[in-house]
Amino acid sequence: MALFPSLRSAERRDSLENPSVPLSSPQAFALFGGDVSTDAGVTVSEYTALRTIAVWRCVSLLSGTVAGMPIRVWRGKRGDPSNRTAVDFPLFDDPNPEMAIGDLVEVSMVHDCLWGNGYWLKVPTQAGNDIAEVWNLPPWSVQVSRKTPINVGRPGSKIYRLNGKNQELTDRDILHFPGLGYDGIKGLSPIAAARQGIGLGVASEQFAARLFGSGSLMGGVLTTDQALSEKQADTIKARWREKMTGIGKAHEVAVLDSNLKFQQLTIPPEDAQFLESRQFSVEEICRLYGVPPYLAMQVDKTTSWGAGIAEQSLGFHRYTVSQWTDRYERRIDKHLLPPGLYCEFDASQLLRGDMAARFGAYSVALSSGWVNGNTVRGWEGMPPEDGLDVYKPIPDTPAAMPPAGKDPKGS
């Protein structure tokens, strides 16, 4: 168990000024040239990618959305909600002394979105028969392989090594959340897969900063055929500012003497193209993470994700968020929960429609007799009330009357 305290201390060393920063940290990796250069002329790594605003937004949106869902634990069989009971699982109430379960999931999702792999370290109790705490592991410090390669015969169990140590850990010690991959062992880094597109966004930001910082966007120039001393030039510039700048002098007419000419400056068309490049890079990053551009604040184009916010949120959950929650649920079921239990991320708050739509659906459900008033109050996050546990009976549907002049028996 001596391995675990050293891991926790290594996670807190987040300053390059601190000589105790481990060489396996992403800061040290970037410092010693570990970033990979792109065709855009910039270097991009999983650590530096968050400097791109679109990457930050997509990663924070996905991680925050998944982390914000309560995790419900049930006794029963997944897929059969009619025969299940809620179970209190203390580890999800207090996973470790420093974090709530939402914090744990959020950090793990950030690791998945950047490195393609999230890891939880399972710290056993003193007796060793249960799990006392769960901690995030930095993905850059974990090496994953198989004890026996799959091409040799029956594949061996997955083994994990931390910070290059010889000690082998297994799924009993580590809960692994791999992202998209092709070998069944480890997920691929989305940043590595889309390094060129992210590099384009970084290069566009650097170009924009240099363009504005270089003074290339000055309003214009005053020119004359006469030779001017530095003092004369400063005097003319000061008089121009005094007469022509400021909101109160907008649309004023300038009268120039001494053969002075004013020439307004604009951004050259080839330089203005960086605006389009930046917009394209945002869309590419949104495609990478499955985030609709409007959620990344790219609102200059219409979206095909639905007409209303509720429909758009439903599409985002169905095609992006649910893929992550399903992946986490099944890994937790298999490697963390005792047999007979399973968990679900509660997406009810994310999928709630507007008030008119919800109340209309509640009315239909109540009149159909399959829910009662307290069920609806629970959906709205309100406590039950006395007398609302009664189910409204479904009225009998009267038989259809035959057309006039017809015998009901068809004769």
Q: Is the pTM of this model over 0.95?
A: no
For residue 229 the two structure tokens come to 């001393």
Most trustworthy range by pLDDT among 190-194, 323-327, 394-398: 323-327
Contact yes or no for 141/121 (Cβ under 8 A): no
* Average per-residue pLDDT for the chain: 77
Residue for token pair 């008033």: 373
Whether pLDDT at 242 is above 90? no
The number of beta carbons lying within 10 Å of the beta carbon of residue 310 is 15
Whether pLDDT at 106 is above 90? yes
pLDDT digits (tens, 9 = 90+) for 192-211: 888 777 776 666 666 666 65
Whether pLDDT at 359 is above 70? yes
Q: What is the reported pLDDT for 4?
A: 47
> Rounded to the nearest 5°, which phi and psi values hold at 398?
-65, 150
> Rounded to the nearest 5°, which phi and psi values hold at 219?
-65, -35
For residue 250 the two structure tokens come to 């907008």
Pick the more confident residue, 355 or 157. Answer: 157
Whether pLDDT at 272 is above 60? no
pLDDT digits (tens, 9 = 90+) for 209-238: 665 665 555 566 767 777 777 887 788 778
- Which residues, including other chains, have CB under 8 Å from residue 344's CB and lie 6 or more apart? 71, 72, 74, 329
Q: What is the reported pLDDT for 264?
A: 62
pLDDT band at residue 376 under the 50/70/90 scheme: confident
The one-character DSSP state at 186 is: -
Q: What is the reported pLDDT for 220?
A: 67
The helix (run of H) or strand (run of E) holding residue 221 is: strand 220-223
pLDDT digits (tens, 9 = 90+) for 50-100: 888 889 999 999 999 999 999 999 999 888 877 889 999 999 999 999 999
Whether pLDDT at 409 is above 60? no
Contact yes or no for 261/224 (Cβ under 8 A): yes
The number of beta carbons lying within 10 Å of the beta carbon of residue 114 is 25
Contact yes or no for 146/159 (Cβ under 8 A): yes
Q: What is the 3-state composition of the chain as percent helix, strand, coil, each rounded to the nearest 5?
A: 40, 15, 45
